[in-house]
């Protein structure tokens, strides 16, 4: 926040798209080794406009279009990184990362380890993710659990323009490979799950004020976006806004934690919060079984068992491919999240609220 204050004089309104573009612009300017490429990323400026103008400004050997080959894009980036560049590549939709799995899991993630540090892969792989946009099966997925399972990569997901820029700059500067997941539902404005209400732009949101220059947000650090006493909500991406809305609508004093970096996760912030509240609700869009929520549940159980006063609740996408017409039956709604809050609170075992268990 101190940094935020220092830079307040050049705060400008940015959407998440503009914030991400600004992060890449800043890094292309600061570091000659940064290159940006991917499908439609160059001349056209990206199907979501995230790289608009960057090729014109920085030249086509720094920002360029790539063939439709996710394995090729990531594989070439690994080779460039081995040379000494710092590639920032884009997979047009997270749903299409699968052809690059071998290069991500077998190569980028392991290069430092298998060469004992002789070669490294400081690659940032941007992927628009998440649903809520009638994207159907292959424009809505949240594949973060595929990445958090892989040793050697970092997985990051912002929930607002301010964090998006600071986290993307930190990711590009980081010497480990980073999977940078961008909730496309949040590109133009926050979304609390009320699809029937008018869209609010980022200009009306505090986190839409973004410093125009260089700044970073430290990786591996969660943000408490709503302090509270009644229960802890662990979430990230679009669901941060849904969780906040559910707290507002229910009047439940939830402590909402935006994890921001999914792995390595900020365990200390999680544990301090759950030990304080004694209750935990985990919310993500991704399908439930073996989703990242399962890992969070386990960590909370391992580290907060004696402080827990109710079973840990998970609100997630159903275990089905992302449907098209049934979008709003699939997408975890504020109502589903509120219901989970109530279940977590409904299990209060004793009259004194029982916050005495454990060590």
Partner 1 sequence: MRQTPALRLHVPEPSGRPGQPTDFSYLHLQPAGAAAKPPLDVSARDTTDIAYGLVRVLDDDGNAVGPWAQDLPPELLRQAMLAMIKTRVFDTRMVNAQRQKKMSFYTQSLGEEAIGVAQAMVLNKGDMCFPSYRQQNLLITQGVSLVDMMCQLFSNEKDRLKGRQLPVLYSVRDAGFFSLSGNLGTQMIQAVGWAMASAIKNDTSIASAWIGDGATAAADFQTALTFAHVYQAPVILNVVNNQWAISSFQAIAGGENNSFAARGVGSGIVSVRADGNDFITAYEVAKWAAERARANLGPTLIEWVSYRAGPHSTSDDPSKYRPADDWSHFPLGDPIARLKQHMIKRGVWSDADHEEAEKAALEEVMAAQKEAEAFGTMADDQVRSAASMFDDVYEHTPWHLQHQRQQAGV
Query: Which residues are part of the catalytic machinery?
Result: 139
Query: Residue 232: exposed, middle, or buried by beta-carbon count in 10 A (0-12, 13-18, 19+)?
Result: buried
Residue number, 82 or 294, with CB nearest to partner 1: 82
Least gap, CB of 174 to partner 1 (angstroms): 8
- At residue 64, the 3 state secondary structure works out as strand
Which one, 76 or 340, has the nearer CB to partner 1? 76
Q: Which helix (H) or strand (E) holds 173?
A: helix 161-173
The residue count of the chain comes to 359
From residue 39, how far is each of 32, 123, 210, 221 by CA, in Å?
22, 16, 27, 31
> Which pair of tokens denotes residue 70?
């996710």
Report the run of H or E that residue 240 belongs to, with start and end.
helix 238-250
Task: Please report, as ranges, the residues that interact with partner 1 according to CB under 8 A.
Answer: 35, 61-62, 66-67, 69, 71-72, 75-80, 82-85, 99, 102-103, 106-107, 110-120, 151-152, 154, 174-176, 220, 264, 267
Q: Kind of pairing, strands 254-258 and 223-226?
A: antiparallel
C-beta of 75 vs 321, nearer to partner 1: 75
Q: How far apart are CA 301 and CA 304, in angstroms?
A: 5
Q: Among all chains, which residue has been given the structure tokens 């400081």?
A: 122
| Shortest CB 256 distance to partner 1, Å | 23
Instruction: Specify the residue, 140 or 269, whose C-beta has the smaller distance to partner 1.
Output: 269
Calpha distance 137→140 (Å, rounded):
6
Pick the closest to residue 123 from 35, 45, 41 (CA basis). 35
CB of 211 to partner 1, least distance (A): 26
Q: Which tokens sit at 355? A: 């916050």
Task: State the helix-helix crossing angle for 267-277 and 292-304, rounded to 10 degrees.
Answer: 60
- Closest contact distance (angstroms) between CB of 146 and partner 1 is 17
The least CB distance from residue 175 to partner 1, in Å, is 4
Comparing CB distances to partner 1, the nearer of 11 and 299 is 299
């Amino acid at each position: 926040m101190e940094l935020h204050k220092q830079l307040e004089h050049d705060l400008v309104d940015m959407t998440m798209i503009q914030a991400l573009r600004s992060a890449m612009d800043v890094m292309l300017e600061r570091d000659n080794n940064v290159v940006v490429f991917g499908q439609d990323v160059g001349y056209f400026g990206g199907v979501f406009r995230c790289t608009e103008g960057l090729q014109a400004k920085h030249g086509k050997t720094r920002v360029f279009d790539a063939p439709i080959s996710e394995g090729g894009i990531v594989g070439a980036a690994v080779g460039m990184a081995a040379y000494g560049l710092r590639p920032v590549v884009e997979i047009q939709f997270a749903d299409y990362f699968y052809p690059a799995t071998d290069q991500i899991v077998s190569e980028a993630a392991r290069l430092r380890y298998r060469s004992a540090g002789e070669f490294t892969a400081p690659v940032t792989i941007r992927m628009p993710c998440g649903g809520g946009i009638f994207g159907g099966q292959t424009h809505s997925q949240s594949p973060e659990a595929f990445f958090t399972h892989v040793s050697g990569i970092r997985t990051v997901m912002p929930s607002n323009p301010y964090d998006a820029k600071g986290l993307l700059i930190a990711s590009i500067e980081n010497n480990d490979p980073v999977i940078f997941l961008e909730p496309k539902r949040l590109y133009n404005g926050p979304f609390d799950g009320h699809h029937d209400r008018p869209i609010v732009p980022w200009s009306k949101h505090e986190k839409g004020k973004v410093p125009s220059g260089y700044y970073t947000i430290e990786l591996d650090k969660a943000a408490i976006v709503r302090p509270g006493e009644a229960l802890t909500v662990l979430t990230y991406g679009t669901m941060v806004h849904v969780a906040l809305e559910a707290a507002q609508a229910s009047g439940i004093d939830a402590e909402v934690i935006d994890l921001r970096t999914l792995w390595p996760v900020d365990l200390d912030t999680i544990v301090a919060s759950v030990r304080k509240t004694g209750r935990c609700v985990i919310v993500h869009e991704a399908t439930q079984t073996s989703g990242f929520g399962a890992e969070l549940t386990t960590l909370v159980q391992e580290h907060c068992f004696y402080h827990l006063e109710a079973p840990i609740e998970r609100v997630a996408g159903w275990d089905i491919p992302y449907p098209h017409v049934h979008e709003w039956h699939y997408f975890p709604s504020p109502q589903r999240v509120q219901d989970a809050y109530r279940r977590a609170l409904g299990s209060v075992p004793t009259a004194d609220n029982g916050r005495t268990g454990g060590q």
